[in-house]
Amino acid sequence: MKGLSRIASGIAQSEIRVMSVECERVRGVNLAQGVCDTEVPSVVRRAAEATIEAGANQYTRLDGIPALRQAIARKMRDYNGLNVDPDREVLVTSGATGGFSAACMALLNPGDEVVLFEPFYGYHTHTLVAMNIVPVFVRLEAPDWKFNVADVERVITPRTRAIVINSPANPSGKVFSREELESLADIVVRHDLILFTDEIYEYFLYDGHRHISAASLPGMADRTVTVSGFSKTFSITGWRIGYVICPSEWTTAIGYFHDLAYVCAPSPFQHGVTAGLSELTPEFYSDLGREYLEKRNILCQALTQAGLTPSIPPGAYYVLADSSSLPGKSSKEKAMSLLNETGVASVPGAAFYHDDSGENLLRFCFAKKTADLENACGRLERLRSPASV
C-alpha cells in the first residue's frame, strides 16, 4: 500500500484482535484473548492507588524504581534460583513485551536468524520480523509438545544468533523440562548463541510440574536474557509492568532502546507491584496454581464433551484443541463457525504456525472469571459435533 514501509505492507491484523471484535459483535464469550480478567490482589491495587494519591506520578529512572528492582532480585533468588544484582542486571520494562522488543533491538542485527519453537507466541515472531530478523522454526509435536534436539541442530547456520523459548508456553502450555533446557544450553554454548527465555507464566503450573529458569543452569547466566512480568501473576495486563534480567554488559543498551520507546514503566504501577512482591505470601502463588488448575479442568472437560479434543496443558492458561470436527476449510472458518454456533470465541490455530499446520487447531483461554468460563463451557457442551448428530 502507498506510503507504507516494506515491513508494514506485509502485516496482517492479529487474529486474536479480529476474533475479539467478532465476539463483541455477536455478544459472545471471549475465550480468544488472554486478558486475565480475574481479581487484582488488593495489596497491589491499594499500593498503586496510594502512590497516585501521594503524587509519585512522574517518570522514574529508565531502569525502574530501586525498590522494585530489589524486590525482583529477591524473587529471582527465591523462586528462580538466580542471584542477580538489582542495580546492574535488572531492568523494569513496559511489560514483558517492551522488554523483549528492547532486548532484540540491543542484541540482534537485521539478517540474523533466530530459532523459535512452534506453535509460537505471535509477538515473538512478529517482533523479530519487524526488525528484519529471520525467524526459523522448530516443531513441538502434539500432544505433549516434545521437540527433537537434532531438529534444533539442523536449523542452525552461521547466521544463527539466538534461540527463543517460552516456558510455560503460550499457546501449547508446554513446560520445558530440565533435560530439554540442558540440551538447549549445550547448543547455545557450542554455537555461541544468546538464549531469550520468556517466563511470564512461571506460576501457572499444574500436575506437579516445576518451573526451571534457563539462566539458572550452569554457564547460562551470561548468555541468557530472561523476560517476564506481572501481567499474568497479578492480573494486571493493562498496567504494563515487566522486567528483563541479563548480564550487566547488555542492560545499558537494552535500557537505552526501552527508554526510546517507553521512557519508563508506569510509576504508580511499579509501586503497586513492589508491594505485591514484598507482601504476598507463598500461599498466594500456590492458590493461583490451584485456581487455574480448576479452570483448566472445567474447560478441558467441556471441550472433550463438545468433540474438540484438548491437549491438556501442564502450564500457562491456554488450551489447544482439535477442531477437525467443526465445519470449515481453515482454522479461521472453524473458529467463526464455532462462534456463530455457540457464541464462544477462540483463536484460529493458524496464528501460531508459519505454515498450514495449525488449520485443525483452536486456542481457548481459561484466564476468565469462573462465571464467564462456566457460561462458555455450557455453550460448548451444547455444541452438536457432526459425530454426535
Comparison of 28 and 173: residue with beta carbon closer to ligand PLP: 173
CB-CB contact of 304 with 77 (8 Å): no
Least Å distance, CB 167 to ligand PLP, is 9
Comparison of 237 and 357: residue with beta carbon closer to ligand PLP: 237
Q: Residue 265 gets which letter from DSSP?
A: S
Least Å distance, CB 382 to ligand PLP, is 29
- Rounded to a whole number of angstroms, the CA Rg of the chain reads 21
Residue nearest to ligand PLP (CB): 95
Q: Residue 20 gets which letter from DSSP?
A: H
Least Å distance, CB 204 to ligand PLP, is 10
Comparison of 166 and 226: residue with beta carbon closer to ligand PLP: 166
Give, in order, the Cα–Cα distances in Å from 324 to each of 246, 349, 386.
Answer: 43, 11, 10
Residue type, 34: G
Comparison of 128 and 326: residue with beta carbon closer to ligand PLP: 128
Least Å distance, CB 229 to ligand PLP, is 3
* Site of interaction with ligand PLP (CB under 6 A): 34, 95-97, 121, 166, 170, 198, 200, 229, 231, 237, 242
Comparison of 122 and 328: residue with beta carbon closer to ligand PLP: 122
Cis peptide before 119 (omega within 30 of 0): yes
Residue 147's nearest CA partner among 155, 138, 156 is 138
Question: In this structure, what C-alpha cell is assigned to residue 366?
Answer: 481459561
Least Å distance, CB 170 to ligand PLP, is 4
Least Å distance, CB 97 to ligand PLP, is 3
- What whole-number distance in Å separates Cα of residue 304 and Cα of residue 232? 26
Q: Residue 26 gets which letter from DSSP?
A: T
Least Å distance, CB 192 to ligand PLP, is 26
Determine phi and psi for 333, rounding to 5 degrees: -65, -35
- What whole-number distance in Å separates Cα of residue 388 and Cα of residue 373? 23
Residue 295's nearest CA partner among 226, 236, 198, 374 is 374
Comparison of 72 and 326: residue with beta carbon closer to ligand PLP: 72
CB-CB contact of 289 with 306 (8 Å): no
Comparison of 70 and 237: residue with beta carbon closer to ligand PLP: 237
- What whole-number distance in Å separates Cα of residue 242 and Cα of residue 248? 18
